[in-house]
Amino acid sequence: MSNLDMTPGQRHTVMGNQAICRGALEAGVRVVAGYPGTPSSEIIENLARAADEYGLYVEWSVNEKVSLEVAAAGSLAGMRSLCAMKQNGVNVASDFLLHLAGSGVRAGMVLVHCDDPGALSSVNEGESRHFARMLELPQLEPGDFQEAKDMTKWAFELSEELGQVVMLRSVTRLSHASGGVVAGPLPQGEAKARFEHHGTLLDTNRGPVSSAPVSVKHARQQEKLARAVELFEQSPFNTYQGPEEPELLVITSSICQLYVKEALAMLDAAGRVGVLKLGTTWPLPPKLIQKNLQRCGRIMVVEEVIPFLEENLKILAAEMAAEVGPKEFLAKREGYIPSTGELNPDLVAEALARALDIQYQPRPAEYAALAQAAAPSTDSPRELAFCPGCPHRASFWSLKNALALDGRDGFICGDIGCYAMGARPSNYGILKTLHAMGSGTGLASGFGQLGRFGMDQPVMAVSGDSTFYHAVIPALINAVHQRSPMSLVVLDNSGTAMTGFQPHPGTQNNAMGQPVPPVDLEAVCRTLGAEVTVCDPFDLEATREAALKMLADQSKAKVLILRQLCALSPERKGKKLYDVQVDPDKCLGGQCGCNRFCTRAFGCPGLTWERETGRASIDEVICAGCGVCASVCPAGAITKTERG
Amino acid sequence: MNTRGPRQLLSEVQQAGLCVGCGSCVELCPYFRSHGGKTVMLHDCDLSEGRCHAWCPKTELDLESLAQALWGEAYAPAGVGPCLSVAAAQAGPALGEGVYQGGGVVSALAAAALELGMVDGVVLTGGEALEPTPIVARNLAEIKACTGSKFAAAPTLAALNRTQAAGGERLGVVATPCQGAALAQRGLKPVNQEAPTNPADLVLGLFCNWALDPRGLAAFLASRVELKRIRSMDIPPPPAGVLVVRTDHETLEIPLDEIRGLVPPGCAICPDMTSEWADLSVGMFEGRPGWNTLIVRSEKGRDLAEAALERGWLVLEEMPKSNWEHLDGAAQGKRLRGLRAANQQGLLGTADDPEPKALRVGAQLMAQIEKATGEEA
């Protein structure tokens, strides 16, 4: 049973990402690929679980570019295919996407890209809609859960009609929230894959597939966009609601349309404002836009992060100025809508109130006072810390010690994964750079070369195992080849832990649960010519010594693999390795010689400082039983007993 | 004599460049460790008072209080400090064959102390010439494995701290003057818990003019020899003025002027050449290779020297007056140089100076020291 099983004609409450999956199933999707990344991960996960039942091929690819290539292969062989990734995944995939846009596709192919305005689960709030304009591809944006399902299904049809990839954008609040969706029927019948390639290069359906000859293919690509515009003019996903001649026209898309509806209700202003909700946001259908711009002179554009719709609308408004007259825009550039962070009904209501000259206070003062009074006063601000038993804490503890002992003010370049939290003070603030997947190793490769300019700080990079396969390998090859004196520490917790333990090339099962040969991380590094050391990060001394040795060797690139299962991994979760106890008679507490070393310096949440007794203790409920704190205690007061 | 915490130790000593890497603060707690000759604070400790600060020989070293506490007498403004006797010395037949720096007297005294049961172990500096590491020797063979001067500052006291934490053993320490001072501070400044009133059961002091920063020395030597091949290093008595480095196949003489820049700034403010806070002090004997100078300072030291002589660990001869005077002058020279350097750097205070100071000497005593030096000269 899959959670995509729904009864046609009936309403189900589903998550946005589930709705997208159901739409793909209703479109008869066959080939699905992606790389994990919040908020997109559940799309591949749900389809992977449904793979057997619905006869799909689903994979977690090594990275987003490869996932797009895998999905494209399906399409070129006549299988409807879907590719899913988070916003910055589109950056990774964009090189292939540029060329695929030039060559076109055959069976319907949809790229679902989930943006994360407000960077709730990201280190960026990149806006991936701009790729649609830059690479000349059609862009769709569902505005609610039903649309998420319906537009996904339609996206495949559109893709097939155009012979082009269609981009479908979700955002965190659509992907991860739940709402009502009426299911549709599933298609019947078998599909047979075959790649036709005996025709000429210009034969779209039977020839070899390439973006060359560019002069012909690029022109065709633009014809496809022109056809998309014709279809978008009639699209039921573009709707207008409100008076025929409103005081203000709001143009919006995506989940923002719900914020607008809610804000208008809050302001009781629905009778004064017209709302043009666009589902097809690139290219914009000019006739539809012209018709709506003629409704009034003041236009507010409600969208998140940078002004994509706004700028495109302003261009159209300028082009049709003779017909629609001058317009006053009230959007980001005019300071009505913020250009960073998520929107919400309050922010939209504030903008609308200002535009409509309504007195409005998003949160009345008495409510704020009541809320404060109701909040428990003992709550203290909580830092993001690694879980109890997390191997990353042990790893970073030893790396911190090694860097301090080395004493040359060395530093670590961070990367993307749970371990990115190593940049936070609660996790020793040990990571000093943090960018894109694989960038830590690339940066370290570069820093390593600066000794010739007098830089005497040693440099390390960290990478998770999944990140290693995704984008670190080329950077490591570079470091080895350029003989950069850097050290790469692979924090191998045996899964894509941050996004929910998706398999990766180093694991023994694929997305569909079938056994696959794991790619040996250690052997890969050795083959690349790096000196490799493997350590258990729970062995603090061995890890520290290995790291110190690597820091001392300034002659080449080296790899230290710190291998230990994530405490939340399905194999480890709930199973304690040790029973851990504190002997209060031995505990030095706040005295000179300790000064609450375990709770204050090491900082595992499984350790508790007992204010009354002035001693540390183990929180049995939280402790994951890794036993590392026993090695940290200076007084031997923490003991660990192996569990049978 | 104010005791402060680890953060102040970091700012007043490590960051001020005064740390000589003696190891006094190392392994008392999990915060301070030593690596490659450098003492580092691994994690922040916010205690307002700590043994690390209290015992550091580069903080609050109050010479007068220390002399009163340790010897029950005033700090001597001239000479080599407390002295029951002084002699030319050499290891006796009991020590057996071996390669020793000078006369082998330190090894002989350490071995004698073990044999006599005065101590259960002696903390020594072992390891390679460029990577000195502290060890606790519990028999003659282990002592012999540590012979040879290192010239690089070693965190010897870290081994004492580590072993004392385990408890139960009486330990002797072979200490440089800074380490001797650190040990003397322990009796004087209990912190936050019952003070170890007997910080070491025997202190064998070494004469010392300065040490070298091991990392700097390694980097310096790396450009001249293959570091792995270095077998020993020696600074022969004046007027040689060179560091002799012996490798497997060559002997290198490096003028001392070339390596003076590698002396930690903390050594420049040291007023002690002859390890004045030790039970016995041992140094080179000028003009007589194979012999040491031995100063007996405490009654415990005298007992050891006498027993060692009786049991064949030591051979003693009277020290000629000219040597004695020369040693006195050299010791006084370093005392004055150290105090003046500290004064110039604002690191010298009187007992009641409220500001943090590395060294404390009353104005009256300082005047006596200046005067005594004038007379010597």
- Supply the pLDDT for residue A500: 87
Kindly tell me if the per-residue pLDDT of A388 is higher than 80: yes
Least confident of A75-79, B193-197, B204-208: B193-197
pLDDT-derived band at B352, boundaries 50, 70, 90: confident
Element (H or E) spanning A182, and its range?
A: strand A178-182
DSSP string, B150-161: --B---HHHHHH
pLDDT grade for B130, boundaries at 50, 70 and 90: confident
Tens digit of each residue's pLDDT (9 = 90 or more) over A566-625: 998 888 888 899 999 999 999 999 999 999 999 999 999 999 999 999 999 999 999 999
Return the residue of A nearest to B161 by Cα.
A593
Residue A593 to residue B46, Cβ atoms within 8 A? no
Is residue B375 pLDDT above 80, yes or no?
Answer: no
Whether the predicted pLDDT of A122 surpasses 70: yes
pLDDT at residue B49 is higher than 50: yes
Best mutation site among B3, B9, B27, B42 for testing chain A: the one with the most A CBs within 10 Å? B42
Helix, strand, or coil (residue A33): strand
Judge whether residue B99 has pLDDT over 70.
no
| The pLDDT value given to residue B198 | 57
Provide the 3-class DSSP secondary structure of residue A429. Answer: coil
Nearest Cα residue in chain A from B165: A635
Q: At what angle do helices A87-103 and A64-76 cross, to 10 degrees?
A: 30
More confident residue, B348 or A498: B348
Predicted pLDDT at A377: 67
Q: Which of A401, A593, A594 sits opposite B42 (nearest CB)?
A: A401
Q: What confidence tier does A378 reach under pLDDT thresholds 50, 70, 90?
A: low
Interface test with A, best of B14, B19, B35 (most A CBs within 10 A): B35
Asked if B38 reaches chain A (Cβ–Cβ under 8 Å), the answer is: yes
pLDDT of residue B192 exceeding 70: no
Calculate mean pLDDT across residues A328-351. Answer: 96
H or E stretch covering A291: helix A286-293
Query: Which pairs count as long-range contacts for A48-51, CB under 8 Å and 24+ apart, including other chains?
Result: A48/A511, A48/A512, A48/A513, A49/A2, A49/A3, A50/A2, A50/A4, A50/A21, A50/A25, A51/A511, A51/A512
Chain A residues touching B51 at Cβ < 8 A:
592-593
Q: What is the pLDDT of residues A47-74, one digit of tens each?
A: 999 999 999 999 999 999 999 999 999 9
What confidence tens digit (pLDDT) does each residue in A218-264 have? 999 999 999 999 999 999 999 999 999 999 999 999 999 999 999 99
| Min Cα–Cα distance to chain B from A400, Å | 8
- The beta-carbon neighbor of A592 closest among B36, B41, B192 is B192
Q: Indicate the residue of A401, A407, A597 with minimum beta-carbon distance to B36.
A: A407
- Is pLDDT above 60 for A498? yes
Mean pLDDT of chain B: 89
Phi, psi angles (nearest 5°) of residue B89: -140, 155
Contacts of B329 (CB under 8 A, 6+ apart): B376, B377
Question: Chain B partners of A405 at a C-beta cutoff of 8 Å?
Answer: 33, 35-36, 40, 42
Residue type, B322: S
Asked whether the beta carbons of residue A634 and residue B29 sit closer than 8 angstroms, the reply is yes
Q: Chain A interface, mutation test: which of B3, B4, B29, most A Cβ atoms within 10 Å?
A: B29
Instruction: Give the distance from residue B35's alpha carbon to the nearest chain A alpha carbon, in angstroms.
Output: 6
Q: What is the mean pLDDT of residues A484-512?
A: 93
Q: Compare A218 and B323 and report the one with higher pLDDT.
A: A218
Nearest beta carbon to residue B29 from set A401, A406, A594: A594
Q: What is the pLDDT of residue B377?
A: 46
- Give SS3 for A407: coil
Q: What residues have CB less than 8 Å from A226, skipping those under 6 apart?
A: none
Question: Looking at the complex, does the CB of residue B41 fall below 8 Å from at least one CB of chain A?
Answer: yes
Contact B33 A401 (CB under 8 A): yes
The chain-wide mean pLDDT, for chain A, equals 95
What confidence tens digit (pLDDT) does each residue in A133-192 have?
Answer: 999 999 999 999 999 999 999 999 999 999 999 999 999 999 999 999 999 999 988 889
Closest CA of chain A from B77, distance in Å:
35
Query: In this predicted structure, what is the pLDDT of residue A379?
Result: 64
Instruction: Tell me the DSSP string of A628-642.
Output: HHHHH-TTS-EEEEE
Choose the weakest-confidence range: A7-21, A341-355, A398-412, B232-246: B232-246
pLDDT for the residue B37: 81
- How many other CB atoms are there within 10 angstroms of residue B21's CB atom? 27
Is B194 in the A-facing interface, judged by CB distances under 8 Å?
Answer: no
pLDDT in the model for residue A364: 76
> What pLDDT does A384 receive?
85
Does residue B333 carry a pLDDT above 60? Answer: yes
